[in-house]
Structure 1
Amino acid sequence: MAPDAKVPLLEGRGSSATPAQTLGNIVVSIVGTGVLGLPYAFRTAGWLAGALGVAGAGAATFYCMLLLLDCRDKLREQEETEEEENGRVQETEHGHHGGANYTYGDLGERCFGPTGRYFTESIIILCQTGGTVAYLVFIGQNISSVLPSVSPATVVLALLLPAQVALSFVRSLSALAPFSLLADACTVLAVAAVVKEYVQLLVERGEQPFEGRSAFAGLWGVPFACGVAVFCFEGFCLTLALEASMADRGRFRSVLLQAIAGVTVVYVGFGVCGYLAYGDATRDIVTLNLPSNWSTAAVKVVLCVALALTFAVMMHPIHEIVEARLFGPDGWVRRRCRGGGIVERAALHLSRVAVVAALAAIACFVPAFGEFAAFVGSTVCALLSFVLPAMFHLRVVGPTAGPWVRAVDYFFLLSGLVFAGHGMYTVLSPQ
């Protein structure tokens, strides 16, 4: 989903979402294609180690989301205190909250100045880029499995690239938002197909479910499973926007806990089921393990079409940040472009085409979905989900927090850095 931008499902609603609506929006923003790579992660780590890794990633994600909310609350308190000291001069302009519905980039700027915003937005772009490239890889491999004569790279360049260039010209997020729901519905359909196949395989084998399946496959498999799990918890940066959408914001933390706990249970159950069903034959995208028949092909094609349409939603925050730097009041193009609206509009469309083409080219060189998802999850997603929230919390809340709170913040900060370093080492080290 689109971090640090308007939430597609909430656009235009304001602060009026009920707890049930917010619960649904949190689930939609978190669940993505990464769930279909979980069985492979469990094969790599072992079913017990994978389950513990996913549960740990879910708990850590929830805690770090709370850190962002604590930072936002502290900054609001500081603003209200400043307004009181200034005789409430700003109250009529901004209302009770001092005009502070913060984005992730806003927190970075408040904590570390313009450099903090640039760094935070750069990590967001890298994280979102990893997600969009993973979408292209996923679609390419699934379509290639349906049409064996067509390579994944051909699917990306010949089919996806022209379609995504056309969709990049649609600038209304509201017009694209329904495709996110369609993609999630198709993901549920694919998960149901895998579970159905799992049950059939167990009945046919007539053996114990865990027979021949490793509970702990080795130490190095655990970071891999954790990386995929972190990648699966998409939408981390939507925390502040989702909380701001609620009519009763005081209930957001309990709703968030319900959503994260429910998604974690589903992730663990699905990962274990997929690995038990296929064992060492589990593919990095579990839909590739499904039998070759018309119903499986239909599931794959529908899922890929939905994801191809959702790709434009995933691209929105990337386009938004890039265009702000190029076409904003102080943007590079605005400073140099003297030809007026036509030239500027042409440059804007050209920038969108260039970004989409670059991501398609990168996707052609990604060898496997599972390894790529683990790499993105253990590097930029770890920085975005664990390191930055801990840094912000230490900066904003740390001076008045107790020693245990600061100790936990440092734990997440250092663990996230070590996790990201291990992810980089795994990719750069010779195989």
Structure 2
Amino acid sequence: MSEKRGSGASSHRHQITEWQAAWNVTNAIQGMFIVSFPYAVVQGGYWAIVAMVAVAYICCHTGKILIDCLYEEDSSGRLVRVRSSYVAIAEEVWGRRIGGRIVNCAQLIELLMTCILYVLLCGDLIVGSFPNTPVDLTSWIMICTAPLLACAFLKSLRRVSWLSFWCTVAHMIINAIIVIYCFTKAGDFKWSEVQVKINIWTFPISMGIVVFSYTSQIFLPTLEGNMIDRSKFNCMMHWTHIAAALFKAIFSYIGFLTWGFATKEVITNNLPTESLRVIVNIILVAKAMLSYPLPFFAAAELLQTTFFDGKPQTPFPSCFDDEDSLKPWGLGLRMGLVIFNMLLAIFIPKFALLMGLIGSFTGTMLSFVWPCYFHIKLKWHSLRWHTKIQDVTIIILGVIFGAMGVYYSGHALERSFHGESPKPFNPRPLNDG
């Protein structure tokens, strides 16, 4: 059914305010992965900091135009919501058979990799906190996954929004502690170690990390569709992305200045006092677990609408009964998804490099290329000339950065498995943190 933009009327039973939508977007673009941003400065220097601001602007723009693609004008000139998802937009442009499958696949990869990275980060943080214990990374990953099985019971976006709120609160407290500690070392800042030149072997990796961290386009159609007042969506996007850009740039720069080239993939592992490192890392583990439900919920919803929404629309019957309760086998499938994430986290234990690789591939497509391409295809005749130029420029940048990032991140990931530096002509071993 078509829906008017800005209308509070909706078929959704669990609506959210613009503040709850903002917590979810903030959780997506300013979440756990910021602990790897100082390491991105190691790889990209000043240009990585510039990229943090530029990518924020681009992703804010593509997020807004993606939502614009959900709407068409009716006969009276009012905007009416005629599409409900990213996939529906792709199906309109590329056809149901091809478009839906391509975007569904990319979204699923992005969401599952986000879940995997949260689980992997939990294990990595605990290993960094207790390096002398006999428990290895694999065991910690399994321990951290156990409470996440509860996510299989989530059915409401409203509950996910409140988890994102408390996640944001914990995020602000921990990052404030790290920044305050860094300022206590201001006299020893390593100003000379920040590079101005671009290293072709490492800058694409840092770009992939930056792009990955700003990818929220997957969640936006659902969030906007569930908002009580959709007219406030653009304002919400502006403030969340401005805040993310400023904080990421400042946090990354100060973090790198404190430790220079000794900055580790997860910056909390640089903290010198064991007690401080343990406290910060354990709270970050709790924060990662609070961040996990949003991408997991989106992945479960995507799988449900694609495969388990009832015959004949989908290949399998619905996961829910007539009372909107999960069937036992549906609950088992969701728990299996959590376990699947855990297994991949165990087998691919390279946090920052994996984030760079995935960000370069699905991140650039979902956040740069496809929103602009769909916008041009659906709105070409109503777009102003400068918007057309802007969209085409972003597409070109997305293709270039995506291709370079996949090649160099993949190359670095391969070398890291052999204990080598991502720089092919640097014999120093890679610092795994």
Structure 1 length as normaliser, TM-score? Answer: 0.81
Structure 2 residue runs without a partner (length 5+): 1-11, 416-433
Offset at 1:358?
Answer: 1.7
Task: State the SS of the aligned residue for 1:390.
Answer: helix
Change (3 A) 1:407 1:212: closer
Equivalent residue, structure 2, for 1:52: 50
Matched residue type, 2:307: L
Change (3 A) 1:421 1:291: same
Offset at 1:194?
Answer: 1.6
Contact 2:21 2:227 in 1 (8 A): yes
Provide the rounded CA distance (Å) in 2 between the counterparts of 1:373 and 1:236: 17
Query: Of residues 338, 342, 347 in structure 2, which corresponds to 1:360?
Result: 342
Query: Of residues 260, 263, 266 in structure 2, which corresponds to 1:282?
Result: 263
Provide the rounded CA distance (Å) in 2 between the counterparts of 1:197 and 1:179: 27
Equivalent residue, structure 1, for 2:423: none
Query: Of residues 367, 376, 400 in structure 2, which corresponds to 1:418?
Result: 400
Provide the rounded CA distance (Å) in 1 between the counterparts of 2:287 and 2:333: 25
Of Structure 1 and Structure 2, the greater helix share is in 1
Equivalent residue, structure 2, for 1:39: 38
Q: Deviations over 1:7-65 (max 9, x none)?
A: xxxx86748x46x676555434432111111000001111x211111122112112212
Alignment of 1:363-378 (within 5 A): 363-378=345-360
Contact 1:284 1:368 in 2 (8 A): no
Alignment of 1:241-260 (within 5 A): 241-244=222-225, 249-250=230-231, 252-260=233-241
Query: Of residues 268, 277, 301 in structure 2, which corresponds to 1:296?
Result: 277
Provide the rounded CA distance (Å) in 2 between the counterparts of 1:30 and 1:273: 19
Task: State the SS of the aligned residue for 1:211.
Answer: helix
Task: Give me the identity figure in percent.
Answer: 19
Offset at 1:327?
Answer: 2.3
Alignment of 1:86-235 (within 5 A): 98=80, 100=82, 102-114=84-96, 115-148=98-131, 149=133, 150-157=135-142, 159-203=143-187, 205=188, 210-216=191-197, 218-235=199-216
Contact 1:29 1:235 in 2 (8 A): yes
Offset at 1:98?
Answer: 4.6
Offset at 1:369?
Answer: 1.5
Matched residue type, 1:229: V
Matched, 1:307 2:288: yes
Contact 1:190 1:287 in 2 (8 A): no
Provide the rounded CA distance (Å) in 2 between the counterparts of 1:107 and 1:367: 35
Equivalent residue, structure 1, for 2:248: 267
Q: Deviations over 1:281-306 (max 9, x none)?
A: 10111111112332331221122123
Contact 2:14 2:158 in 1 (8 A): no
Task: State the SS of the aligned residue for 1:300.
Answer: helix
Offset at 1:383?
Answer: 0.8
Provide the rounded CA distance (Å) in 1 between the counterparts of 2:156 and 2:190: 48
